[in-house]
Amino acid sequence: MTNSPSVLPAEAAAFLRESEGDDWTVEPLAGDASVRAYYRIRRRDGSTLMLAWYPAEVRGQLGRFLRSYEAVSPHAPVPRLLRADGTTVLQSDAGDRTLFDVLHENRELGIELYRRAIGVLRDFQKAAPQEEINPPFTAELFFNELEMTREYYVEKLKGADGAPLVSWFKRIADNVAAHPYVLCHRDYHGQNIHVVNDDLFVIDYQDLRMGPDTYDLASLLRDRGVARILGEQTELELIAEYGRPRARYFETLLQRSIKILGTFAKQAIVRGRRHYLEFIPPALESVRRCILELPQYSELGDLLP
């Protein structure tokens, strides 16, 4: 850890000096799928802050983040925004321990917190529709996500023919877009929910948009292989507690599971982030589970490698 200007981008270092003076140290943190850069700022008294810097190519996302914060913060537990300018955001620190981590450390406690995360999700949905921040999900958007899977997972990663999948992808996209809509986080999984003294904090919500009412639940209960730990019975109990039809959940999960095959394959192929490949087997397990639940898609199981 250091307060050397070379650690932070020049814009972020100037921003931080204006906010905090010179008496701090900085720790670079691992990022997410974006090119945003994250740093933990430690003050002299030992308290910490989180700084996010937006490179030029994603700077437009910063405005979306700020508008999303204004919309969501009255309803859901999110890190408190302290200061922002055109390149940098300073927030309260929600730590490094995630709901995903807790579930792996202690299944019983993890399941309890996953139940609470469903309550947090309901609170998140109380925010007003935010179509001026991001447009709602559409059948076209869902289809384009699945087309990314055809290109990067089916054809480039697996070397298979993706053409027979197109009509099936269109059918899935149209059906999911016909579900009732609520405000969606869009990436509501255990690694985007941090745990501090058993309190939950939601991060990475700037892509929020109106979408299917089981979209975030499917992400929470299935992304990154958590269903292997939760178990099928617990998954079904949590679906029931959420109070939406089971078939809608599995149809949304089918679209999401196929979509993230493309997301993970693209991260590995385009950005060289090969660790994303380890999430592909759980995504395929989700696809198989959905097809068992939804026999109208059984033929799809023979076409997807």
Tell me the pLDDT tens digit for each residue of 139-158.
Answer: 999 999 999 999 999 999 99
Residue 31 has pLDDT above 70, yes or no: no
Predicted pLDDT at 7: 84
Residue 42 has pLDDT above 50, yes or no: yes
Predicted pLDDT at 176: 98
Predicted pLDDT at 256: 96
Predicted pLDDT at 232: 95
Mean pLDDT rounded to a whole number for the chain: 94
DSSP letter at 98? B
User: Phi and psi (nearest 5°) for 193?
Assistant: -125, 110
Residue 122 has pLDDT above 70, yes or no: yes
pLDDT band for 224, please (50, 70, 90 cuts). Answer: confident
pTM for this prediction: 0.91
In 127-278, alpha helices (H): 139-148, 166-177, 215-222, 227-230, 232-242, 246-271
Please enumerate in sequence order all residues whose Cβ is within 8 A of that of 275, keeping only pairs 6 or more positions apart, or say none: none
Predicted pLDDT at 35: 84
pLDDT band for 1, please (50, 70, 90 cuts). Answer: very low
**N-to-C CA span, the chain:** 45
Predicted pLDDT at 128: 86
Q: Count other C-beta atoms under 10 Å from residue 88's C-beta.
A: 23
Q: Count other C-beta atoms under 10 Å from residue 51's C-beta.
A: 26
Predicted pLDDT at 30: 80
Tell me the pLDDT tens digit for each residue of 73-98.
Answer: 999 999 999 999 999 999 999 999 99
Write out the DSSP string of 19-85. Answer: HHTT-EEEEEE---SSS-EEEEEEETTS-EEEEEE--GGGTHHHHHHHHHHHHHTTTS--PPEEEE-
Please, are residues 282 and 225 in contact by the beta-carbon 8 Å criterion? yes
Q: Which domains does the chain have, with CATH numbers?
A: 10-92 (3.30.200.20), 99-303 (3.90.1200.10)
Tell me the pLDDT tens digit for each residue of 125-143.
Answer: 999 877 889 999 999 999 9
Write out the DSSP string of 223-247. Answer: GGGTHHHH-HHHHHHHHHHHTS-HH
Q: Which of 9, 7, 99, 1 is nearest to 48 (CA)?
A: 1
Predicted pLDDT at 130: 73
Residue 124 has pLDDT above 80, yes or no: yes
Tell me the pLDDT tens digit for each residue of 184-213.
Answer: 999 999 999 999 998 999 999 999 999 999
Q: In residues, how long is the chain?
A: 305
